[in-house]
Structure 1
Amino acid sequence: MIEFDPAAHRMVPQQRWLEDFVLGERFVIPSRTMTPAVFAAFQTASGDTHPVHYDVEYCRARGMPNLLAHGFQTLIHTAPGSGLFPFMVEESLVGFLEQSSRFLKPVYADDTIYPALEVSELTPGRSTGVVTLRSTVFNQRRELVLEGLQKFLIRRRPAASP
């Protein structure tokens, strides 16, 4: 009979603590093409019904090549759960503290975006600390379309038992 332990059923078996992170370390999030289905899902979730996001002829009449993605529609692709970061801190994560972002260039339907998170600051405290991740999204033309930051409160490594 095979022994099974649900606690060992993890995406990333080695847990990480504040001390384990390194400035410049990157967490790539899978790329995604902004298909009409992505636009429809965002419209359903957000309730946003402005035609600039859902009527291609409205967009073309205003000089845009396709539907314009809502800024938040681009931002959601930087959700850490889309990559490995939150799986690495299942034991040490206390909370998500802060998020900010700047939308630098338009994202249109059929663009492919490439999100990533990078450790940009580590602020240790006594028992916890803050890991600041710089969020970036590039498009298929290698243009930076979004940049921002996300801050997480992470526990320090527990003291070893004597």
Structure 2
Amino acid sequence: MTGFDPRSHRMIAEQRWFEDFVLGERFPLPSRTMTSGIFAAFQAASGDHHPIHYDRDYCRAHGLPDMLAHGFQVAIQTAAGAGIFPHLVEQSLKAFLEQSSRFLAPVLLGDTVYPCLEVDELSPNRSTGVVGLRSTVHNQRGVLVMEGRHRYLIRKRPEAGDGAETRPAAG
């Protein structure tokens, strides 16, 4: 035995529970430049083959400076798994409840987007609570191109001696 415990192999040492979140807490996600490879991958995954998303000449003929990212291609930039949030709630996450998005400005090929999640709702229940996250995506010019919400059902901290499994902190 080497003394290694896989349960202690975590990206985030501290497990978080519903009570540990605070309104206004921010979770920036990695920025990403919308390359032709990302456009092609989204087209392949979604099956959306409208030329506005892959044909530059078509876009220019219709008054756009370049290919237009699909709204869902923009929305997926706010996937919580791209950041630390899911690592914080490995033991407490019960469900991803909902997601919504409003698209406010176009995202074009070559734009760099800056997604972020911010706690804007804490609705307690008896043994769980809902953590609502405002999702935003800005472009490289600082323009808010998308805003929306995610809502997650998160367990409250287990009472001592209730038999709930908790992972030891990495040390």
TM surpasses 0.5: yes
Taking the TM superposition and a 5 Å limit, the aligned residue runs for 1:136-155 are 136-155=136-155
- Measured in 2, the distance between the counterparts of 1:103 and 1:86 equals 25
- 1:120-147 per-position Cα deviation (integer Å, ceiling 9, x unaligned): 0100011000000000000001000000
Amino acid in structure 2 at the alignment position of 1:134: R
* Deviation, structure 1 residue 78: 0.3
After superposing on structure 2, the runs of 4+ consecutive aligned residues of structure 1 that deviate more than 2 Å are none
Taking the TM superposition and a 5 Å limit, the aligned residue runs for 1:9-88 are 9-88=9-88
* Deviation, structure 1 residue 88: 0.3
Q: Which residue of 2 aligns with 1:115?
A: 115
Q: Is the partner of 1:23 in helix, strand or coil?
A: coil
> What TM-score comes out, normalization by structure 1 length?
0.98
Amino acid in structure 1 at the alignment position of 2:34: M
- Measured in 2, the distance between the counterparts of 1:117 and 1:4 equals 34
* Deviation, structure 1 residue 3: 2.3
- Measured in 1, the distance between the counterparts of 2:92 and 2:121 equals 17
Q: Which residue of 1 aligns with 2:165?
A: none
Q: Report % sequence identity.
A: 66
- Pairwise CA RMSD: 1.1
- 1:25-67 per-position Cα deviation (integer Å, ceiling 9, x unaligned): 0001000000000000000100000000000010011111110
Q: Which residue of 1 aligns with 2:90?
A: 90
- Measured in 2, the distance between the counterparts of 1:86 and 1:130 equals 15
Q: Which residue of 1 aligns with 2:167?
A: none
* Deviation, structure 1 residue 107: 0.2
Q: Which residue of 2 aligns with 1:131?
A: 131
Amino acid in structure 2 at the alignment position of 1:132: G
Q: Which consecutive residues of structure 1, in runs of 5 or more, have no partner in the other structure?
A: none
Q: Which consecutive residues of structure 2, in runs of 5 or more, have no partner in the other structure?
A: 163-171
